């Protein structure tokens, strides 16, 4: 008997993927619950902190909607080792960063960081999130290239081989570039309280625009 090592790629197995799906759903829920514990302080925090919470909300909710849409189209068995496992690991990395966003502000009054510190943190984390979005897209291209992954069209019908159009990756690349610009600006300008609010607001616009165009084209 000989042992061989290979990446095992196969169709969706309900038993193999259900644990991963439920686990990720729960993590999204816990991240949102952490945000809720800070939203109750809305009237007692600075504008920068409010913008941070808004950024956290749109990032988590937008990502969860995208995650659920991808699960409706196809769920893939996790094995040691296959591409689906790598994509699952990237999913968990994203959720970790969402937790980091949600947990950044304290849950007590008069203990929040300065506006410039909040902007610096947000620029760094949003850039990291877009890096993972880009890696996730590349993994989708890898999966599609194997011709072994199948999905169900959202409009119904028979299964089709997984496809990964490059124009979606172009959208992700654009979002990554803008996040990089925001990070570079923060590192060079050391924004004051006013410009820090503008920087966080810009990150919100980038995040919402990315999700709008990505999900509209994916629909």
List residues bridging with 151 in a β-sheet: 160
What pLDDT, on the 0 to 100 scale, is given for residue 65?
Answer: 85
Read off the pLDDT of residues 30-67 as tens digits, 9 standing for 90 and up: 888 889 998 888 888 899 999 999 999 999 999 888 87
- Where are the domains positioned within the chain? 14-218
Phi and psi at residue 140, to the nearest 5°: -65, -40
Residue 129, number of CB atoms within 10 A of its CB: 23
Contact 164, 147 (CB under 8 A): no
The pLDDT of residue 149 is: 67
pLDDT of the residue at 176: 94
Would you state the structure tokens that stand for residue 109, as one six-digit string? 């009054």
Kindly write down the DSSP assignment for every residue of 105-127, as one continuous string: S-SSTT-PPPHHHHHHHHHHHHH
What's residue 144's pLDDT? 77
Amino acid 100: pLDDT: 94
User: Is there a contact between 52 and 122 (Cβ–Cβ < 8 Å)?
Assistant: yes
**What is the pLDDT at residue 153?**
55
Rounded Cα distance, 168 and 2, in Å: 42
User: What is the pLDDT at residue 167?
Assistant: 83
Residue 57 confidence (pLDDT)? 95
Q: Per-residue pLDDT for the chain (219 aa), expressed as one digit of tens each?
A: 444 444 445 444 444 444 445 677 888 888 888 899 988 888 888 999 999 999 999 999 998 888 777 665 555 665 677 777 888 889 889 999 999 999 999 888 778 898 889 999 999 999 999 999 999 999 888 877 777 666 655 555 556 666 667 888 899 999 999 999 998 888 876 655 558 889 999 999 999 999 998 877 655
């Amino acid at each position: 008997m000989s042992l061989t090592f290979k990446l095992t790629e196969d169709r969706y197995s309900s038993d193999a993927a259900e644990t991963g799906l439920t686990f990720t759903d729960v993590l999204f829920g816990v991240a949102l619950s952490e945000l809720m514990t800070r939203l109750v302080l809305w009237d007692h925090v600075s504008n920068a902190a409010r913008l941070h919470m808004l950024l956290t909300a749109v990032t988590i909710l937008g990502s969860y909607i995208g995650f659920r849409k991808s699960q409706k189209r196809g769920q893939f068995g996790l094995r040691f080792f296959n591409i689906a496992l790598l994509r699952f690991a990237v999913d968990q990395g994203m959720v970790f960063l969402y937790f980091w966003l949600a947990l950044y502000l304290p849950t007590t009054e008069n203990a929040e960081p300065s506006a410039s510190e909040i902007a610096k943190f947000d620029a760094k984390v949003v850039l990291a999130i877009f890096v993972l979005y880009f890696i996730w897209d590349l993994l989708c291209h890898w999966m599609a290239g194997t011709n072994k992954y199948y999905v169900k069209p959202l409009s119904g019908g028979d299964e089709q081989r997984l496809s990964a159009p490059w124009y979606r990756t172009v959208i992700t690349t654009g979002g990554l570039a803008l996040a990089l610009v925001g990070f570079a600006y923060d590192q060079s300008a050391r924004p004051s309280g006013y410009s820090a609010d503008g920087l966080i607001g810009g990150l919100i616009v980038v995040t919402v625009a990315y999700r709008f165009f990505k999900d509209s084209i994916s629909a």
